[in-house]
Amino acid sequence: MRRSEAFFDAILDDPASNELRSLYAGWLEAEGDPLGDFIRTQCALAEAASDDPNALALEQREQDLLAAHEAEWACELPNHVHWWTFRRGFVHEISASAGAFVASAPRLFRMAPIQVVHLDGVRDCIDSLAASPFLKRIRFLDLSDNMLGNRSLRVLAQSPWLTNLQGLNLSSSLLSDAGLAALVASPYLTNLEELYLCDNRIGRSGIRALTESPLSEQLKVLSLRFNRIDAVTAGLLEDGVAARVSF
């Protein structure tokens, strides 16, 4: 195994590590590979404060490197996804159809340390998506604007591969109280910190199920805008997760 492969495999196994990325960047730079410069540039941008005087130069360098090399670095991604975004030197975020994601996940997660996934067409393949072990690689899953309904959410909530998920967007997904009750009863959302449920049909019984569940204690962000939040329901939220909720 070449050292470059060893470095890349280590990053795939530990996507959060900046140290591994820095080590790989150093090796690439010694080999004259511009990807090393790109990794360092994007890592510096990720850590830069909003008023950092060097940020503009870093952004310009980032764009110059992408213009010259993005097609090479994206590899076969255009064959599998709608769009992608680089962060800290590698593809971090993708958008795809759920069917393509399920079929291509083994290849996709060998290409890049993907952490954020946006999916469409989910309802038609919810069973195969919920059964995919590659869900465990994802930190934020966006299923918004899918006509999931309560049945699909019940299937998803019982996926054992959700244990590393930190953020979940289910806005505009035709969810009602029964769907939210199924979600909060899931034993697998043990690391979930952000939950977006805007523009659904959630009312009093769903909110009660949420506020009485362990999930309500671990959430740092809960968005419920454009649901059936009446005065009584708002009171339930104020008694529970008021500091972390928007509705």
Each residue's pLDDT, cut to its tens digit, for the chain (247 residues) gives 355 889 999 999 999 999 999 999 999 999 999 999 999 999 999 999 989 999 999 999 999 999 999 999 998 999 999 999 999 999 999 999 999 999 999 999 999 999 999 999 999 999 999 999 999 999 999 999 999 999 999 999 999 999 999 999 999 999 999 999 999 999 999 999 999 999 999 999 999 999 999 999 999 999 999 999 888 888 888 766 655 777 6
140-191 confidence digits (pLDDT tens)? 999 999 999 999 999 999 999 999 999 999 999 999 999 999 999 999 999 9
pLDDT at 3: 55
Report pLDDT for 230.
86
- For each of the domains in the chain, give its residue range(s) and CATH number, in order of start: 121-246 (3.80.10.10)
- Identify whether the C-beta of residue 39 lies closer than 8 Å to the C-beta of residue 24: yes
How far is C-alpha 96 from the geometric centre of its chain's CA atoms?
13
Strands 116-120 and 221-223: unpaired
- Considering the entire predicted model, what is its pTM? 0.95
> 3-state class of 32 per DSSP?
coil
**Could you tell me where the beta strands, DSSP code E, fall in 102-216?**
116-120, 140-142, 167-169, 194-196
Question: Which residue, among 166, 208, 202, has the nearest Cα to 185 in the 3D structure?
Answer: 208
Which residues, 6+ apart, have CB-to-CB distance to 132 below 8 Å? 101, 102, 105, 161
Q: Given this model, what pLDDT does residue 235 score?
A: 85
Task: State the pLDDT at residue 2.
Answer: 52
CA distances from 152 to 19, 40, 89, 143, 182 (A): 39, 41, 35, 11, 10
Among 200, 192, 197, residue whose Cα is nearest residue 217:
192
Res 12: pLDDT? 96
Which stretches of 98-186 are assigned E, i.e. beta strand?
116-120, 140-142, 167-169
